[in-house]
């Protein structure tokens, strides 16, 4: 008893060893095969030995999905016996060990086992055992899917849910995929798929859900895409409200523009449907204009005003607003075009105005202090007319007026002479002949009016 047991153990271990070694004699390319209902399916077997050097003996059997096992074929290298029940259904031709199943139906699903004994003729009776299993599925190809959306109309963001359904008339083991603008719809807290993904519930709908939807139905043997994409329109916004301008200089919320410049401000926000825009002056708390564009023409320097743009989506009933400060100032290094025009005129004007102001101011101060020209001139004027030289008075009804004007207007750039004249005027107040003194003063003035007066 013990001897036989040990013997059996030995044989077993030898067999296990041999089986492991012999794994290279045949090959079944894939352990799972997907068949199409009504079509045939071949379970191929590749052999890695010379048929004429070996004697073979084997079987093909089938275990259904419910676990019923049936012997299909028994074969050697020269002959085969196919079960009568399957004679028209399967095809086997030795010595090729591949099995062909014809006109597949659902009952053909399951595991197909190949058991093989190989004995090489030149080898001392050693038998190599081979065992392989192929799982077979049988599917009906999917028909073209049809996509539907509920509700069919456009929806408002955050308020509505949308249900997508994808259906096929035919097909087994169908799974669905959803594409928005040709990108696979991924996972999200707002997306709820049915088990086979035939329905997709979006709850609630957001702006990013808008787009063109398609579904794809597939199973192991086929894949079909719906012919027609369905658009999802979402009402949303306003988002990303902002004010822009091609002109002026922007620093954060402050736009600086040149005085006298006509500036356009554009208010934009992302929204569906289009927003309505309102421009409001904050200071005056009044609506300036309706529409996305604001026109500002400003002259006053150092003027600052706050403007507000309000965007309103009348479908979502949401609004947003943004404000900015407009400052009017000379932009030294602002926009080339505008400053150029401005600069072409300004240097001369500015210098002239400034020097005139300075000189005028100085003169005013000086005269107040020392000259009191009015008093002097009045005194002169009050002298008898006979004392004055007549020709000089011709064409000048009021000499006092002339003196005053010339002193002021023609002095610029001649500060010294102006001061000198004033000093002399003050000094000579007590001198007898006032006329000469006055005319001397005016002689320093180089312009023509002074000359004409001298003659
Ligand atoms: C099949 O096996 C027999 C031995 O049983 C052998 O004589 C014969 O040559 C083999 N046939 C082929 C085609 O290998
Ligand atoms: C078995 O037959 C099929 C079809 O006739 C063929 O494609 C395949 O190569 C054969 N296999 C062997 C091992 O000869
Ligand atoms: C959308 O679905 C949520 C649940 O996911 C529900 O509470 C809500 O009432 C639905 N809204 C509409 C408009 O059907
Ligand atoms: C909503 O606004 C759009 C454009 O801004 C306008 O055409 C439409 O008439 C408005 N609808 C209502 C109900 O006010
Ligand atoms: C602006 O005017 C509106 C009415 O036109 C008023 O309701 C609001 O209180 C005012 N705001 C300020 C800051 O005065």
Does the beta carbon of 314 sit less than 6 angstroms from any atom of ligand 4? Answer: yes
Report the pLDDT value the prediction gives residue 393, as an integer from 0 to 100.
44
Report DSSP state, residue 43: E
Cβ atoms of 217 and 176 within 8 Å: the answer is yes
Residue 285 Cα to ligand 5 middle (Å): 6
Does the beta carbon of 317 sit less than 6 angstroms from any atom of ligand 4? Answer: no
Cβ atoms of 278 and 290 within 8 Å: the answer is yes
Q: Which residue pairs, CB below 8 angstroms and at least 24 apart, start in 379-388?
A: 379/434, 380/434, 380/435, 380/438, 383/434, 387/435, 388/435
Owner of token pair 């085969």: 80
Which strands make up the sheet holding 234-244, listed edge to edge?
Answer: 155-156, 234-244, 262-272, 293-297
CA distance 449 to 454: 9
- Of all protein residues, the one whose alpha carbon is nearest to atom 6 of ligand 1 is 55
CA distance 70 to 62: 5
- Of all protein residues, the one whose alpha carbon is nearest to atom 2 of ligand 1 is 55
Report the pLDDT value the prediction gives residue 402, as an integer from 0 to 100.
42
Residue 36 Cα to ligand 2 middle (Å): 21
Owner of token pair 């005085």: 259
Residue 314 Cα to ligand 4 middle (Å): 6
Task: Give whole-number Cα distances, 209 to 163, 188, 194, 436, in Å.
Answer: 12, 11, 18, 98
Render 155-166 in DSSP notation, one character per residue.
EETTT--EEEEE
Q: Is the dihedral of CA 285, 288, 291, 292 positive or negative?
A: negative
Packing angle of the helix pair 373-381, 399-409 (nearest 10 deg): 150
| Among 42, 44, 54, residue to substitute to test ligand 2 (most atoms within 8 Å of Cβ) | 44
Does the beta carbon of 55 sit less than 6 angstroms from any atom of ligand 1? Answer: yes
Q: Which ligand places an atom closest to the C-alpha of 155? A: 3
Render 50-92 in DSSP notation, one character per residue.
-GGGEEEEEEEEEE-TT--EEEEEEEESS-EEE-GGGTTTEE-
Does the beta carbon of 47 sit less than 6 angstroms from any atom of ligand 2? Answer: yes
Does the beta carbon of 163 sit less than 6 angstroms from any atom of ligand 3? Answer: no
Cβ atoms of 110 and 61 within 8 Å: the answer is no
Does the beta carbon of 40 sit less than 6 angstroms from any atom of ligand 2? Answer: no
- Indicate which atom in ligand 4 lies nearest the CA of residue 275: 5
| Among 155, 156, 158, 161, residue to substitute to test ligand 3 (most atoms within 8 Å of Cβ) | 161
| Tokens matching residue 379 | 């005194």
Of 317, 294, 235, 295, the closest CA to residue 270 belongs to 235
Report the pLDDT value the prediction gives residue 61, as an integer from 0 to 100.
96
Cβ atoms of 446 and 414 within 8 Å: the answer is yes
- Of all protein residues, the one whose alpha carbon is nearest to atom 14 of ligand 1 is 52
Residue 296 Cα to ligand 1 middle (Å): 104
| Tokens matching residue 23 | 């794994």
| Among 26, 49, 75, 98, residue to substitute to test ligand 2 (most atoms within 8 Å of Cβ) | 98
| pLDDT one-digit tens code per residue, 239-277 | 999 999 988 888 888 988 888 888 899 999 999 999 999
Longest dimension (CA), the chain: 176
Report the pLDDT value the prediction gives residue 12, as an integer from 0 to 100.
43
Helix or strand run (H / E) with residue 112: strand 110-120
CA distance 341 to 356: 24
Three-class secondary structure assignment of 263-313: EEEEEEEEEECCCEEEEEECCCCEEEEECCEEEEECCCCCCEEEEEEEEEE
Q: What are phi and psi of 101, to 5 degrees?
A: -105, 130
CA distance 407 to 444: 10
Owner of token pair 């002959």: 79
Does the beta carbon of 350 sit less than 6 angstroms from any atom of ligand 4? Answer: no
Report the pLDDT value the prediction gives residue 16, as an integer from 0 to 100.
45
| Tokens matching residue 145 | 């899917």
Task: Flag residues of the chain having pLDDT under 50.
Answer: 1-5, 8-22, 334-348, 350-351, 354, 371, 373-381, 383-455
Report the pLDDT value the prediction gives residue 388, as an integer from 0 to 100.
43
Task: Give whole-number Cα distances, 93 to 42, 74, 131, 198, 228, in Å.
Answer: 12, 11, 19, 44, 48
- Of all protein residues, the one whose alpha carbon is nearest to atom 5 of ligand 1 is 55
Beta strand 230-232 with 234-244 is: unpaired
Cβ atoms of 158 and 193 within 8 Å: the answer is no
Residue 282 Cα to ligand 5 middle (Å): 9
CA distance 358 to 360: 5
Report the pLDDT value the prediction gives residue 51, as an integer from 0 to 100.
81
| Tokens matching residue 34 | 């997907």
Report the pLDDT value the prediction gives residue 23, as an integer from 0 to 100.
52
- Of all protein residues, the one whose alpha carbon is nearest to atom 5 of ligand 3 is 203
Report the pLDDT value the prediction gives residue 116, as an integer from 0 to 100.
93
| Tokens matching residue 336 | 């080339």
Question: What is the model's pTM?
Answer: 0.63
Does the beta carbon of 150 sit less than 6 angstroms from any atom of ligand 3? Answer: no
| Tokens matching residue 58 | 């084997």
Q: How many Cβ atoms are within 10 Å of 21's Cβ, its own excluded?
A: 10
| Tokens matching residue 211 | 């787009």
- Indicate which atom in ligand 1 lies nearest the CA of residue 53: 14
Q: Which ligand places an atom closest to the C-alpha of 47? A: 2
Q: Which residues contact 74 (CB under 8 A, 6 or more apart)?
A: 58, 59, 80, 81
Task: Give whole-number Cα distances, 391 to 123, 179, 385, 447, 453, in Å.
Answer: 158, 106, 12, 20, 10
* Dihedral angle, C-alpha 277, 281, 282, 284, nearest 10 °: -140
Report the pLDDT value the prediction gives residue 249, as an integer from 0 to 100.
84
Does the beta carbon of 51 sit less than 6 angstroms from any atom of ligand 1? Answer: yes
| Among 51, 52, 116, residue to substitute to test ligand 1 (most atoms within 8 Å of Cβ) | 52
Residue 75 Cα to ligand 1 middle (Å): 12
Residue 229 Cα to ligand 3 middle (Å): 25
């Amino acid at each position: 008893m013990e001897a036989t047991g040990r013997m059996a153990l030995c044989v077993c271990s030898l067999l296990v060893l041999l089986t492991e070694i012999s794994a290279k004699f045949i090959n079944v390319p894939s352990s799972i095969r997907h068949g199409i209902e009504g079509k045939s399916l071949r379970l191929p077997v590749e052999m890695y030995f010379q048929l004429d050097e070996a004697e073979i003996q084997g079987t093909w059997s089938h275990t259904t999905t419910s676990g019923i096992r049936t012997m299909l074929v028994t074969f050697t290298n020269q002959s085969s016996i196919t079960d009568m029940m399957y004679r028209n259904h399967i095809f086997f031709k030795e010595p090729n060990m591949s099995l062909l199943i014809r006109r597949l139906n659902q009952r053909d699903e399951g595991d197909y086992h190949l058991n093989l004994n190989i004995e090489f003729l030149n080898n001392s009776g050693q038998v190599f055992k081979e065992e392989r299993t192929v799982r077979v599925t049988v599917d009906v190809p999917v028909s073209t899917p049809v996509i539907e959306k509920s509700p069919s109309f456009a929806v408002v963001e955050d308020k509505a849910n949308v249900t997508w359904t994808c259906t096929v008339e035919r097909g087994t083991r169908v799974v669905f995929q959803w594409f928005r603008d040709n990108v696979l719809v991924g996972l999200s807290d707002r997306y709820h798929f049915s088990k086979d993904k035939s329905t997709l519930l979006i709850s609630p709908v957001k702006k990013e859900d808008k787009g063109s939807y398609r579904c794809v139905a597939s199973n192991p043997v086929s894949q079909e895409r719906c012919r027609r994409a369905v658009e999802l329109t979402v009402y949303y916004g306003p988002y990303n409200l902002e004010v822009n301008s091609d002109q002026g200089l922007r620093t954060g919320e402050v736009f600086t523009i040149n005085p006298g410049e006509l500036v356009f401000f554009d208010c934009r926000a992302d929204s569906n449907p289009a927003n309505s825009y309102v421009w409001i002056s904050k200071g005056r708390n009044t609506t300036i204009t309706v529409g996305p564009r604001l026109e500002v023409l400003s002259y006053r320097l150092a003027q600052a005003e706050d403007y507000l743009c309000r965007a309103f989506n009348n479908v979502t009933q949401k609004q947003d607003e943004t404000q900015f400060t407009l400052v009017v100032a000379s932009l030294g290094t602002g926009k080339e075009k505008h400053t150029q025009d401005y600069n072409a005129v300004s240097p001369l004007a500015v210098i002239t105005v400034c020097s005139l102001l300075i000189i005028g101011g100085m003169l005013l101060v000086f005269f107040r202090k020392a000259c009191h020209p009015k008093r002097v001139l009045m005194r002169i004027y009050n002298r008898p007319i006979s004392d004055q030289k007549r020709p000089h008075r011709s064409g000048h009804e009021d000499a006092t007026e002339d003196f005053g004007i010339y002193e002021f207007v023609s002095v610029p750039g001649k500060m010294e002479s102006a001061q000198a004249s004033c000093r002399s005027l003050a000094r000579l107040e007590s001198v007898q002949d006032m006329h000469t003194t006055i005319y001397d003063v005016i002689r320093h003035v180089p312009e023509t009016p002074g000359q004409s007066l001298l003659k």
